Amino acid sequence: MKIGTVIAAVDKPHSIIENALHALGRTDPTRITTFTDGDKMLRGYLKKAGLGPPLLDWAHLARRVKIAKITAKGLRHLTNAERRARPLIMKAMDILHWRLWLGQIGGARDALKRVVKLLRPFDVDRTRASTATAAKKLRAAICKLEEYIEGQSAYLTNYGLRQRQGRPVGTATTEGLANALVNRRMNKLQQMRWSATGAHAIVTLRAHYLNYPGQPPIALNPRV
């Protein structure tokens, strides 16, 4: 099921969610698991709709880990210490990935600290700036990933266990919904693009038809 809405739409987002769930037969005791990408506003809508704390969508977390792992692959070793450290860094990144997949926050923190420690040989002051630059990029990527994990730690779960139990670990339909609403007008190079006001109006209409098929068009506020 897809539920679409936009900021400042005619109907409040939490009301749209509530109505859609009730239409599916939801009762108050019904336990519903939700996933988000970490957006505080969206989590607020879910809370207003009477839903429990959402889980972090695995795809968004995995994407950030992937970026850090790709950055780590860019390391080039010029000394014996760097040569020994590089495979250990890659191993630590793999361990980080699996710790997060299993919802082991403590283990993930340890893996991050391990990577930072292993980067020390690459930080030696030298004229060979290529290795130092790659290490600096990886350190920055690790720092961003660490901040994200700490900020989202309360919303992580054991994704591996959920998958083995046949339960979802995220939802790919959210990205598909965004593409269905906006199409290609705002995220691809096109000869004709919508204005910000026009895009908002079109997305609002498309969200309405998605949520309420067959109902007449809604009146839009031209000042939106």
Using CA atoms in the order 47, 51, 53, 56, what is the torsion angle rounded to 10 degrees?
Answer: -100
Q: Spell out the residues 6+ positions from residue 157 whose beta carbon is closer than 8 angstroms to its own.
A: 55, 56, 103
Quote the distance between the C-alpha of residue 224 and its chain's center.
28
* Boundaries of every domain in the chain: 13-57+170-211, 58-155
Residue 54, number of CB atoms within 10 A of its CB: 19
pTM of the predicted structure, to 2 decimals: 0.71
Q: Give the Cα-Cα-Cα angle 142, 90, 156 (nearest 5 degrees).
A: 50
State residue 79's pLDDT score.
Answer: 82
- For the chain, 224 residues long, give each residue's pLDDT as a single digit of tens: 555 555 555 567 777 778 777 777 777 777 788 888 888 888 888 888 888 788 999 988 999 999 999 999 888 877 888 889 999 999 999 999 999 999 999 999 999 999 999 988 887 655 455 566 778 888 999 999 999 999 999 999 999 999 999 988 887 655 555 555 555 555 555 555 666 666 666 666 665 665 566 666 555 554 43
Residue type present at position 165: Q
State residue 23's pLDDT score.
Answer: 74
